[in-house]
Amino acid sequence: MPDADRAPARALRGPVRVRTLHGWGGGDRVRSWVWRPPDPAALAAGLASRDRRLARGVIARGMGRSYGDAAQRWGGLAVSSAGLRELTLDPVAGIARVGAGVLLTELLRAAAAQGWIVPVVPGTQFITVGGAIASDIHGKNHGSAGTFGAHVRTLGLLTADGELRDLTPADPLFSATIGGMGLTGVIVSAQIALAPAPAPLLAVDTDRVDSLDDAFSALRADGGPHRVAWLDLLSRRGPRGVVTRARMVSSAADGGGPMPAAAATTPVRLAVPPVIPSGALTPAVIRAANAARFWRSPRHERDALIGFGPHMFPLDGLAAWPRMYGPSGFLQYQVAVPPGAERVLEAILEVLAAADAPVYLAVLKDFGPANAAPLSFPIEGWTLALDLPRRCPALPAALDRCDELVVEAGGRIYLSKDSHVRPATLSAMYPRLSEWQTIRDDADPAGLWRSDLAIRTGLVSDR
């Protein structure tokens, strides 16, 4: 590690500020340096310097949309990718060359204007390409498209030795970087293979379901590859929900007609004010909102035409929505379990109910087979994501119990959403963790890359 006393002044070119950082769900608020290098050369030079602000660890940060402490390092340096803005597109081959700081919303618009679409998108368009790769994000179409990482052809990674490496899927360091949570280096750029899309338009099938079993069945039914169940877990009638299966509209003859490229994204319409009354969000309020959403949805509908953006990113219309949870915030608990472990998901809901931990948002999806990246989250089966207000006192113990159930079932939690998992539990969930650690440690023997998540979970040792 650099000798703090001999750090040259102004080694970090570009703005450097002290900021309070936290995850999208709130959680631990930490003071950290945040540095925005203007270009890859400044990034390489700064990291090669002996600047004292590198001493407590360095971690890349995109839009801070990961829910916990993955993109922060207490007292350390967060490297913002906001200056890494290259975006060029080969409209014939459908390959985008992008800087890591480009937002998916920007890439989607550029791609849609040329008849292409980003093949895997999460539930928000406001994430960076670097964040998408480092979390190896999944969409609603994992069964057919895999993760974001499956579409990365090459990536430029700035490693701890100051070298900018061009990696391909054949490199072990490539696989360790896909889902590697920023702990192999700073992703600078990537080439992404896009999917053809004559129009950014989806044909959507919708079914209201009256139980969890019906949700599992509807997610398995014939129909488009973009599948998701929104669940109302606060209804007094028991779990119920709305399942959608969507497919890209393939031509104007398919009912598409002209559709502006802007439909690939969705605008922000409202913002939650910075200060709202504490406790504005209660189980009773959510119960009423859920009931309205449930009854507003069609019982059965087929082939409704909806823009790609509005369907994929329904939460993006309301900026800063986590503020509604008040100062204590919320956490998201997301697990993946193998096929046949449906009852484990029910058991998790029972544990949370017994702990009086209300689930304000619940989303269920199916996953296809896992990929070759050792820390990639998706495994074949089901994934359930639950938003839980943090102020419930019994929540930590309940989540420990849920983790035990997940481990017994051969499942895992999603690091990009995590804020609680224990080191021993994590290694039980990710059997290839030591393989990943070996590749990581070889590329960063002095432990430059560290995040609070990495220290808390033992992904990287604290020095």
Taking CB under 6 A as the criterion, which residues in 21-60 touch ligand FAD? 24, 59-60
Give which of 351, 409, 361 is closest to 388, Cα–Cα. 361
Residue of the chain from 268, 292, 315, 394 that contacts ligand FAD (CB under 6 A): 315
- Quick note: the x/- pattern for ligand FAD over 92-121, rule CB under 6 A, is --------x---------------------
Q: Which helix (H) or strand (E) holds 333?
A: strand 330-337
For residue 314, which phi and psi values (nearest 5 degrees)?
-65, -25
Least spacing, CB of residue 383 vs ligand FAD, in Å: 9
Considering the complex, state which of residue 292 and residue 320 has its C-beta at the smaller distance from ligand FAD.
320
C-beta closer to ligand FAD: residue 53 or 61: 61
What whole-number distance in Å separates Cα of residue 35 and Cα of residue 459?
24
Exposure string of 42-70, with b = 16+ CB inside 10 Å and e = fewer, is bbbebbbbebbbbbbbbbbbbbbbbbbbb
Which H/E stretch holds residue 443?
helix 433-443
The values of phi and psi at residue 326, to 5°, are 80, 180
For ligand FAD, the closer of residues 77 and 355 by Cβ is 77
* Selected range binding ligand FAD among 134-142, 264-272, 277-285, 399-407, rule: CB under 6 A: 134-142
Q: Nearest to residue 444, comparing CAs of 188, 40, 165? A: 165
**Alpha-carbon radius of gyration of the chain:** 22
Q: How far is the CB of 76 from ligand FAD (least distance, A)?
A: 12
Sign for the CA dihedral angle at 101, 104, 110, 114 comes to positive
Residue window 359-398: x/- pattern of binding to ligand FAD, with contact defined by CB under 6 A: ----------------------------------------
Number of residues located near ligand FAD, criterion CB under 6 A: 31
- Strands of the sheet containing 87-90, edge to edge, are 87-90, 95-99, 186-193, 152-158, 164-167
Scan residues 404-423 and list those touching ligand FAD (CB under 6 A). 416
Nearer to ligand FAD by Cβ, of 70 and 192: the residue is 70
Residue 134: closest CA among 162, 116, 155: 155
Q: Which of residues 177-196 bind ligand FAD (CB under 6 A)?
A: 181-182, 186-187
CB 144 within 8 A of CB 225: yes
Cβ proximity to ligand FAD: between 240 and 417 the closer is 417
Of the candidate spans 10-18, 64-72, 111-119, 229-237, the one that interacts with ligand FAD by CB under 6 A turns out to be: 64-72
Among 26, 46, 57, 64, binds ligand FAD (CB under 6 A): 64
| Angstrom distance (rounded) from CA 156 to CA 273 | 38
Q: How far is the CB of 69 from ligand FAD (least distance, A)?
A: 9
- Summarize the chain as % helix, strand, coil (round to 5): 30, 25, 45
Q: Kindly state the smallest distance separating residue 6's Cβ from ligand FAD, in Å.
A: 28
Residue owning tokens 């975006």: 87
Name the residue nearer to ligand FAD (CB basis): 122 or 447: 122
81 binds ligand FAD (CB under 6 A): yes
What's the min distance (Å) between Cβ of 105 and ligand FAD? 11
User: Measured between alpha carbons, how far is 454 from 416 in angstroms, rounded to an integer?
Assistant: 11
Q: Which of residues 278-297 bind ligand FAD (CB under 6 A)?
A: none
User: What's the closest the beta carbon of residue 106 comes to ligand FAD, in angstroms?
Assistant: 12
User: 68, 122, 200, 389: which one contacts ligand FAD (CB under 6 A)?
Assistant: 122
Other Cβ atoms within 10 Å of 362 Cβ, number: 24
Nearer to ligand FAD, 64 or 256 (CB): 64
Binding site for ligand FAD (CB under 6 A): 24, 59-66, 70-71, 81, 100, 122-124, 127-128, 130-131, 134-135, 137-138, 181-182, 186-187, 315, 416, 451
